[in-house]
Structure 1
Amino acid sequence: MKAAVLREVNQPVTVEDVQVDAPAPREVLVRTGASGVCHSDLHFVEGLYTTPMPCILGHEAAGIVEAVGEQVSYVKPGDWVISCLSVFCGICEYCTRGQPYLCTRTAVTRSSNDPPRLRRDGEAITQFAQLGAYAAEMLVHENALVKVDDDIPFPQLALIGCGATTGLGAVLNTARVEPGSTVAVVGCGGIGIHCVQAAALAGALRIIAIDTTEDKLGLAREFGATDVIDATAGNVAERIMDLTDGGVDYSFEAIGLKQTAEDCYNMLRPGGMATIIGMVPEGVKIELDAGNFLRRGRAIQGCTMGSNRFRTDMPRYIEFYKQGRLKLDELVTQELALSEINRAFADMKAQSVRRSVITDFDN
């Protein structure tokens, strides 16, 4: 099969022919229908986060089941599925206490004694997040999939696999935004724009979108923002405090920078909560004023994949979309061939508002 392989950081990915093993027990072979190009993948290309190489990136995908291994009971060939990097084992401490997004991944990977799922000329190829969606096929554990109906196009389904699930979940599951509250979203890209939508779904009275790109701020207004702030002038936290006469109830950081994470904390009202979603680079320290921390109470928390229980959450998000309460069509702005993935990364670096989705895996 064709796959986009990352072999070195800060180098273009290369489209290569990769061999796929047969499904082992509880494994499923999926023909990839679409895969979103997520900023998280770019972090690994740039070396801000590490993964074993060579590696097939991509984790925001949807497709059709081609084959299943023994003991698979959840799906069958022909089923439409969305993949999720929150693959869960169902037996570890976190799974059994209702936090499958923190799963320790017991028994959902192959051991070092087993043949690799993917290889090229005998060399093992890593699947990013146990998925590797920048490829014509994905060989995954069945607990990385949710079965869905076949009445929504693959590009829209793919966006639910990460961007929608993370952004919506951060608001609805992690922070649990209350009706009538004031919300600020810092960064209106693929994750932040869903935070804006989720705040509207949750009944927030005021939703403030912050970004440096005019197009993204315009899109945020369409998606439910009541106010927008151009961050290029700086002093974001101070401006939010003035605008809200004392701070917001909830803030969400959807970029992954030290400064914006600190801004999200500094724009809170007493008793407010800042939720950090963006992938702040490994090793970076976030500085908080201790006195304010004590006064503000709950203050700050992290968020892993929208605290999702994806087999429950994703069907709910699909229903929101069908009812017209969740916008996805407006985000699928650039459908590309697999060979154009480096152009998609370049657009992302340039802060393009376009949302790239790989839909042609043969070119």
Structure 2
Amino acid sequence: MADGTTRFHHGGEDVFHYGPATNAPLTVVAERAVVSVDPAMPLDLAALIGCAATTGVGAVRNTARVRPGEAVAVLGCGGVGISALHAAALAGAYPVIAVDVRPDKFAALIRMGATHCVDATAPDAADQIREIAGRGVDYAFVTTSAASAFPLAMGALAVRGTCVLIAGYPDGVALGFDPGHLLNGERRIVASKYGSSNPPVDFPDLVDMYLAGRLDLAAMVSHRWRVDQMDEAYDALRSGAATRGLIVFDTESAG
């Protein structure tokens, strides 16, 4: 809560789960934490705006401000990554390279705007990315804390390219890089927290993009689970099998 306490407890211990997230059909939040949006917005898809879409789209639009023709790679194509991928395509970036450990997701990623896909587990993944882009990418968005992702992103950058760090890492984790690679190519590392967003402004804007048919939130959703299937949802999250999943309380919407 705003005062540093939590209203959720289990076994006498405080439970922190991203503020109001409860896996419950109803919750109570402070008035200032509520953003009014167009009532035409489907609430199940609005759930994506509350986190993944704002983080991924915002990293492209607000943090990096990707321009047409700039080369982009997205490393890790779950909910945040697929949102960044889609936003890069909407911004006119080219190429837009999806980099993931699950090749079975590549067809879905191409439908969301990827022009090329690279298997992140390939030993020459960085070489493949640089070859596709011709000289390396202008922006590499790191949405996964997998140990190989950050060095892969740095190795794929063009001269004056930027690594945009979105992934959350456990406290105390240190990332290493070659200072000479950074300095000699005038490369940069920037962080993007929640898409550098301002929710009262960005949420309605993303809703308007969806209602105008530009932001394809529905296509991002690969799975829907009922509440009693929650363990399956978390298994898919851990394995990377889902692009974006939804836990729904309307049993007719799951499947």
What's 1:159 paired with? 48
58, 61, 65: which one aligns with 1:172? 61
What's 1:302 paired with? 191
Letter in 1 for 2:2: T
Give the deviation of 1:353 after TM superposition: 2.4
Give the deviation of 1:135 after TM superposition: 1.7
44, 49, 70: which one aligns with 1:181? 70
What's 1:271 paired with? 160
User: Could you tell me whether the CA contact under 8 Å between 1:189 and 1:216 is conserved in 2?
Assistant: no
After the TM superposition, list the runs of 4 or more consecutive aligned residues in structure 1 that deviate by more than 4 angstroms: 118-121
Task: For 2:57 and 2:163, locate their aligned partners in 1 and report how far apart those are by CA, in whole Å.
Answer: 15
Q: Which has the larger radius of gyration?
A: 1
Which blocks of at least 5 consecutive residues in structure 1 are unaligned?
1-107
Change (3 A) 1:111 1:300: closer
**Percent identity between the aligned chains?**
35
Letter in 1 for 2:213: G
144, 159, 166: which one aligns with 2:33? 144
Q: Please show how residues 25-44 of structure 1 align to structure 2 within 5 Å.
A: none
Q: Please show how residues 47-126 of structure 1 align to structure 2 within 5 Å.
A: 109-110=2-3, 117-118=7-8, 125-126=14-15
What's 2:92 paired with? 203
Task: For 1:333 and 1:192, locate their aligned partners in 2 and report how far apart those are by CA, in whole Å.
Answer: 14
Q: Deviations over 1:166-203 (max 9, x none)?
A: 00001111111122111111111111111111111222
What's 1:219 paired with? 108
User: Could you tell me whether the CA contact under 8 Å between 1:167 and 1:194 is conserved in 2?
Assistant: yes
Q: Return the TM-score normalized by structure 2.
A: 0.89
Change (3 A) 1:275 1:120: closer
What's 1:346 paired with? 235
Task: For 1:244 and 1:111, locate their aligned partners in 2 and report how far apart those are by CA, in whole Å.
Answer: 46
134, 147, 157: which one aligns with 1:258? 147
What's 2:117 paired with? 228
Change (3 A) 1:206 1:337: same
User: Could you tell me whether the CA contact under 8 Å between 1:178 and 1:204 is conserved in 2?
Assistant: yes
Task: For 1:119 and 1:136, locate their aligned partners in 2 and report how far apart those are by CA, in whole Å.
Answer: 18
Give the deviation of 1:164 after TM superposition: 0.4
Task: For 1:245 and 1:360, locate their aligned partners in 2 and report how far apart those are by CA, in whole Å.
Answer: 47
Give me the CA root mean square deviation.
2.3
Give the deviation of 1:251 after TM superposition: 0.7
Letter in 2 for 1:216: K
Give the deviation of 1:298 after TM superposition: 4.3
Q: Secondary structure at the match of 2:29?
A: strand
313, 320, 338: which one aligns with 2:209? 320
Higher helix share: 2
Q: Return the TM-score normalized by structure 1.
A: 0.64
Task: For 1:254 and 1:183, locate their aligned partners in 2 and report how far apart those are by CA, in whole Å.
Answer: 13
108, 126, 131: which one aligns with 1:242? 131
Q: Deviations over 1:76-129 (max 9, x none)?
A: xxxxxxxxxxxxxxxxxxxxxxxxxxxxxxxx62466xxx644679x5753522
